[in-house]
Structures are given as C-alpha cells and as structure tokens.
Structure 1
Amino acid sequence: MRVATFNLQNMRLRTQEGRPVLDGAFDQDESDVQRPVALSLADREQTAKVIHAAQADIVAVQEVFDTPALDFFHDNFLLQTGSPAYPFRYCLAGNDGRGLNVAALCRRQPIIVKSHAGLTGADLDLSDLPRELRDHRLFRRDCLELGFTGVTLFVCHFKAPYPDAEKAYVIREAEARAVRKIVEMRFDDPRQERWMIVGDLNEPGAGDGPARSALTPLKQGFSFDLLDRLAPGTDWTYEVPDTHLHSRPDRILVSPRLAQEYPDVRPEIIRTGMPPPRHNRRGGASGGPPDTPSHASDHALVYADFPGLA
C-alpha cells in the first residue's frame, strides 16, 4: 500500500464564463479576486500531474471545498493524466469557516468512514482546555477516520500558525491531544495496532512560530514521524511566503507497530508542482493575484510505501 498526503491549496468548484471551473492554487478569497480561467485550469492540471506521479493507493488531501469539487477534479483532471481511477472519494463537511475540508481519494473501499468534526474537548474528557475548545467544536477542520482491513487512517488539517502564533499553538496542541484521544478510544492497545495520522499538521518551521512543538502529544513513543527518517534539510514540504524558511507541515505519523514492521520505510517528497520561491506569495502588491506561473500547490506531496499492507 502506498499512502500520500497533499494540501491542494483552496480547491473549490465555481461557475466562471458560463462553465464549471476549479479555483486555481491560490489562497486569497476568489470571490474578491478571480484569476483567469486558463491559469486556474493550468494549476489544476499541475495538481493532477503531481498526484499521478505519486501513484498512491490512498491520497489524503486537504483544502477541498466539497465532494462535487473532488469529483470534478478526479473526472476532468486526474483521469486525463492516465491515472487509474480512484472510485472511492470522500469529503465530509468540517468546521472550516471558508468551507475547506479534509478529503480522500481511495483505490480500495474503506470499511469505516467517520467524521469527528462535531467533537468538543468535553466529549474527549479534555476538561483543562480553554472554554472555547472545551465546550465547542475543537477541530478547526476535522479528523476524518478511514478504516481499511489492515490499517486505519486519521486524516487531519490542524490550525495554521497565524495570525496569532501563540493562540494558534494552543489550538493546534489541543487538536493533537484530541487525535490521540480518538486513537486511544478506537483501539484497546494502540501500540499493537496498525494506524496512521496523515495530513497537514501545520507545525511551523524555525522562526515561524513558538519553538516548542504542538505535536508533542502525538510523539514520545505514541507515534513515529516518518519524515524524521529523512536527512535534515531534505525533509521540507512548504516554504513560508516571502521568506526562505522551510517547514514540514505535511506529515505521515505511524503507530509503534507500523514503525517496527517497516523500519526502513522512508517517505518521498514530490516538490515539482510547487511555485518558484520568488513567486511564493499570498497576494500581489495591490492585493490582487500574485504574478505566479501555473503550479499544483504551495505544498509538496508526501508519500510512503508499506509493502504487503492490505
């Protein structure tokens, strides 16, 4: 089994020039600034090429507006690359105020598809959290559970480290604690089961947020980050706009059992669809679209192989 994670950077289906068009890989609200249709098409052709190059059995994706957008991308872009079909596609509504959700493209059918977007901190017995996290929905998007015969995936997209880095850290750490609780409730002995936590966990790079890690609840032997197996400097998946700072928000965390069963597995990172560094901006000087060549996403795709895993 090959598992991938990819932040698709704001994929939404709209009607432009009288036809359905997917938003291009651009962060700014497209209702305020519309990019040329040709550029949006070119962006999503690049997105499809990156996914095709990965040849993953399961692709966990982030920042997808809804199932129609995912289906439209699959049918009109991904299949055009010659990629085998992903007949099982899931995008459940989460908590993102812009409507951007976690989703998945699967070549095999899961036996469990479950959203955890409605959970509060109190639901998970996290009574020490701030009130807005304890008494209200905790996840900024969702923790989407996909259960297969041999492995369970938890697809996540945690809070980004802005605009208030300290407040974002508190939310992100709470999300990490919540995912751990979900795994612990799912399995009697998580150490002895096969599971992964995949997605954009939004851990900032050096100089881009608090030095301490909000992902600590998922570490310390609870799970193992496969990107830790890569050499420093080769493990980045994102470049902070208008800087040369690299970070690795995109992760594949595996259970102790999987880490032991696959000691030599190292993830691969596909960066070919990312914009050149000088173009990696959230908007132009006038607030309009950046002068950006077509690109797949501002994130890299990450995948890992698990031979024999059903």
Structure 2
Amino acid sequence: MRIATFNVQNMRLRRTDDGVHLTGARDMDEPATEGPAARAVDMIDRRLTAEILAEADADVVGLQEVFDRETLDYFHDRYLLPAGAAPYPHRDCLPGNDGRGFDVALMSRIAPKAVESHATLTPSLLGLDNPSGRNPDEPVFRRDCLSADVGPVTLYICHFKAPYPDPDVAWRARRLEALAVRELIEKRFAGRDDAYWLILGDLNEPGREERSERAIAPLLGGFSVDLVARMPEARQWSYHLEEADLYSRPDAMLASPALASDFPDTKPRFLRRGLGHDTARFDGERLEGVGYHRPHASDHAALVIEFEGL
C-alpha cells in the first residue's frame, strides 16, 4: 500500500461571472489574485498540484487545505485525471473548524471504512484539561483530525494550528491537538500492541522552536515512530519560508510501533519537483512550468511512503 500526504495550499472552487475555476496555490492575502492573468497562473498551479499527485501514484492520499467536497471532486475530475492519475473513486472532505473553510480530505482507491471527523470534540469530551484562558466549549482541533480505516491501517489525517500570530498561544493549541490525537488512538486501540495506525498531515511544527519541548511531543517518543526521521537529516524538510529563508518539515508520518517494527526499512520520500525555484535547497529537476515563486504545485512538498505487501 502506498500512502501520501500533501498540503495543497488553499484549494477552493470559485464561481464568478467568468465561470468556474480553482484558486491557485497561493495565500489569500497575496496581491494581484484576480483577473485573467492571475487566473491563468492559478490554472498552472493546479496542473502542477495534479502532476505531483500523479507522480506519487498513492493508493491513499491525505490532503490539507481543501475547501470542500465539491472542490475536491472538481480537482479530481478536471485536473488529476487529465494529469494521468488513476481514479480515486472514494473521496471525503468533511466540514472542519477553519474559519476560511479549508479542511482535510481523503482520496482512496481502496474503500475506506469508519471515516470520521473529530471537528466537534472539546477537551471535556476527551477527558483532557483545558488550557488556562481557553473557552472550554472551543473545539480541540483548529481544522480537524479525519480518521479512516483503509485496509489494515487506520489513518489520522491532521492539520494542526499554524505557529502564528502568537507563537506561545499556537504552541499550546498544537499541544492540545497532539494530546487529543493520542487520546483518540489510545481509546481506539487500548490493550493492543499489534495495531497498525498512521498519523499523517501538516502538524505545523516550525523550523525553530524557542521552547525546549516540541508541541507534538505527546505523539513522539515511545508512542509512535517518526518515519521521516529515517531519511538523511539533510533531506528532512518539506517547506520553505522565503522571507526568513527557513526550511522546516511540518509534514509528518508518525507510525504505530507495530507498523514501524514490521516495516523496519521502509522510509518515506518528499516530492519536491513542484516547489518554486526560490526554494533553493532543492537542486533537482522541476516540473515544466514551475516559476521562481509561482507557478508552483504548493508551498509544501508532498510526502509518500510505500508499505510493500500491506
């Protein structure tokens, strides 16, 4: 089974007087995002997004920053299939908590079971202590944690709180999200040391932590195995913040001990050919049409892993 995760950067289907189109891989506050010229760049972005996913050729894909199911279906039919990807007949994108509407999503060639959003969970429902100063009725997840059983593996597709505008508040939010994912897994697989599960997605850990402990520490250590750590350290990056020239790897795959133990030599790889040329650390060949910053497939690299025989 081949599994991938990809933050596709603000993918939204829009309807205007000029017709229907997808927004490109761009932040909402970027200038010159309207008009025919901007829309042409948007289309190239999404062609590149599709080409990266076609290159991944994963059986199962977790996506972040997809606006809704309609957006996902449009991208699948109008971009992904023309890029040469085999179809994904099973697609889910359930409403989350992002105020802009960008959710996590699942595409699969294997029929998933028990697909569930956890967007409405609060600390009290999970038996977790609520951080000081936080509304006790506020959902734990800033976006969502989408869980699904796909074949023998249970996936937890996440997109944690970004490390801004207040790094300290954001750290506490990510710590609570990490504790919540751990609680979901421990409740589901209590007493089982043979369970196959995989946490994947954008955990939004910054490249430089001012605290001595990472916000996602509850998911690390003996609880899971960080599969990206099996790669050479110099290649453990998936994101470039140009204004700070900062390379980091918010994109993660954390495997259950049983899954990691049964596949001791299996390691993921990042697909970086869709990143802009401003991401200078990547010196490989890029997809046709990639620009200095844009067009690009996303501001993240995709992450893919194959568990042979699973």
* TM-score computed with the length of structure 1 as normaliser: 0.91
Change (3 A) 1:251 1:41: same
User: Partner letter of residue 254 of structure 1?
Assistant: A
Counterpart residue number, 1:282? none
Q: Distance in 1 between matches of 2:197 and 2:168?
A: 30
User: Partner letter of residue 21 of structure 1?
Assistant: H
User: Partner letter of residue 97 of structure 2?
Assistant: N
1:275 is aligned to 2:305: no
Query: Which moves more between the two structures, 29-38 or 80-89?
Result: 29-38
Counterpart residue number, 1:186? 188
Q: Distance in 2 between matches of 1:210 and 1:240?
A: 20
Deviations 1:228-279 (A, max 9, x none): 1111111100012312211100001100000100000110110111122279
Deviations 1:90-124 (A, max 9, x none): 10000001100000111111111001000000111
- Structure 1 residue 82 displacement after superposition: 1.3
Counterpart residue number, 1:248? 249
Counterpart residue number, 1:85? 87
Counterpart residue number, 1:7? 7
Change (3 A) 1:240 1:100: same
What SS does the aligned partner of 1:295 have?
coil
- Structure 1 residue 127 displacement after superposition: 2.2
Change (3 A) 1:144 1:278: closer
What SS does the aligned partner of 2:215 have?
coil
1:129 is aligned to 2:102: no
8 A Cα contact 1:267 1:305, kept in partner: yes
Q: Which runs of 5+ in 2 are unaligned?
A: 281-290
8 A Cα contact 2:240 2:279, kept in partner: no
Q: Distance in 2 between matches of 1:98 and 1:32?
A: 20
Given candidates 154, 160, 163, the residue that maps to 2:162 is 160
Residue identity (%): 46
8 A Cα contact 2:194 2:258, kept in partner: yes
What SS does the aligned partner of 1:80 have?
coil
What SS does the aligned partner of 2:201 have?
strand
Counterpart residue number, 2:115? 113
Counterpart residue number, 1:45? 47
User: Partner letter of residue 203 of structure 2?
Assistant: L
* TM-score computed with the length of structure 2 as normaliser: 0.91
Change (3 A) 1:95 1:239: same
Counterpart residue number, 1:65? 67
Change (3 A) 1:136 1:252: same
1:196 is aligned to 2:198: yes
Deviations 1:14-35 (A, max 9, x none): 0245211000000125899426
Q: Distance in 2 between matches of 1:16 and 1:39?
A: 17
Q: Distance in 2 between matches of 1:224 and 1:209?
A: 24
Counterpart residue number, 1:284? none
8 A Cα contact 1:184 1:190, kept in partner: no
Counterpart residue number, 1:298? 299
Counterpart residue number, 2:179? 177
User: Partner letter of residue 53 of structure 1?
Assistant: E
Change (3 A) 1:130 1:32: farther
8 A Cα contact 1:49 1:81, kept in partner: yes
What SS does the aligned partner of 2:193 have?
helix
Change (3 A) 1:122 1:136: same
Deviations 1:170-227 (A, max 9, x none): 0001000000000011112353200000000001102x65452011100121111101
Q: Distance in 1 between matches of 2:210 and 2:166?
A: 9
Q: Distance in 2 between matches of 1:227 and 1:77?
A: 29
Change (3 A) 1:294 1:142: same
